[in-house]
Amino acid sequence: MSTESSLAPFSRRNWLKSLALASLANPKLFASSAAHFAPRAKRIIWLTQAGAPSQLDLFDYKPGLAAQFDKDLPNSVRGEQRLTGMTAGQKRFPIAPSVFKFAQHGQSGMWLSELLPHTSKFADEICLIRSLHTEAINHDPAMTLLQTGHQIGGRPAFGAWVSYGLGSHNADLPAFVALISRPSGPTNAQPLHERMWGSGFLPSKYQGVRMSSGKDPVLFLSNPPGITTERRRAMLDDVAALNQLKLADYHDPETQARIDQYEMAFRMQSAVPDLADLSKEPADIYERYGPESKKPGTYAANCILARRLAERGVRFIQLYHRGWDQHNNLPSGIKSQCHDTDQPTAALLAELKERGMLDDTLVIWGGEFGRTVYSQGVLTRDNHGRDHHPRCYSVWMAGAGVKGGHVHGETDDFSYNIVKDPVHIHDLNATALHLLGLDHTRLTYRFQGRDYRLTDIHGELVKGVLA
């Protein structure tokens, strides 16, 4: 194809005019805000701990369990709960108290594990939810439910709904970015599928863009050898002209999405390399985020990148850290995971606060379900494993509109059942949307004759966590 546009009516100038008209026809295309009401948060950084951290060893202090070591979990507590195939055949369900010490922190006196010395300094900024629950008992459906509101794939991810509902703050970057970090130690790291940041049945322009630590932070972002920026521009103009003809004929929204994505990719070629170049960060930043922060692709490096994305107006940043699935050797495994995540998480909170961004940034930390109080496999005084536990687990929120230094919900003496203020996954998602200024019952998309939403037909606002 010629380096000059072969279709004169669709010159670059006319193309830009068409973009301007498109933005007038569809304000959500480039909207800075289409909220239902005044938002408390402009953006979300979701620190997704894939594999399910043990609430018993981090957040849900149960000192009475020390006297219950190796005793059988009462049937009255376990009830008829569904068990995984990994422990359903055990002859016993011996109670495994946490081997880690807890202490109270901040003016709030929040009980937190010794594994979180850095995060503990932010006890008065954190709203700890100890009563989250889910139906899913295995990783993939549980993570899919957490991200999309349904256990079966095919629906839009949370970030895609936010992108659809609010548009982008930055025309040169996507509204939704996913980052996947590598654990530093040997772990049982569950796979993550692209549907976790997919757009489902929404137009594909709302899907998340995964950034990696490779040569190209976004795959195929660089021009191949022999292709200049001018040649790329001319090619996109010609392709856009052809797509505009098809759009006029068929009015297929996916054709418009393809046009938008090509343009976004072109703009990202300039914006992303600068964004992903962490070498420009001063030395003291690396010191704050810890020893792993200079290694590309680590959780610490991705926390720095998450802050840079937030500064540049990205609305939804999903940072995954895998490896929390500790069915055996939990004490050593969870210690390694906290080594990776505790200091960088606290450094991120500190930076956001210092830069005045925590006031309008919602930070969420947590996984897809919890872990059992009983040991999976052999129990000793210093070692054990824990199986999946969907009935109750802990997550925390901090920042925009959240009640700091507050503990919401309560579990029984075994951290097995919720006894006060249960919060379902749908409730958590409805509350996060609310803080963005979105009513979860009104953020809908019609597909195959039905109005869908992130929370399906469920979800209640958790007013107790709001400031």
CB neighbours of residue 282 within 10 Å? 8
pLDDT of residue 217: 82
- Tokens for 45, please give them: 């950084």
- Give pLDDT tens digits for 398-424: 999 999 999 999 999 999 999 999 999
303 secondary structure, DSSP code: H
Long-range contacts of 427-431 (CB under 8 A, 24+ apart): 427/459, 427/460, 427/461, 427/462, 428/129, 428/132, 428/395, 428/462, 429/149, 429/158, 429/454, 429/455, 429/459, 430/455, 430/459, 430/460, 430/461, 430/462, 431/461, 431/462, 431/465, 431/466
The packing angle between helices 299-311 and 253-276, to 10°, is 110
Question: Residue 5: pLDDT above 50?
Answer: no
- The pLDDT value recorded for residue 14 is 53
**Which structure tokens are listed for 408?**
């919401």
- 186-190, 300-304, 307-311: the lowest-pLDDT one: 186-190
Q: What pLDDT score was predicted for residue 272?
A: 83
User: Whole-model pTM?
Assistant: 0.89
Residue 128 in tokens: 């700890």
CA separation for the pair 291, 120 (Å, rounded): 19
- The two tokens of residue 87 are 């422990």
What is the tens place of the pLDDT at every residue in 340-351? 999 999 999 999
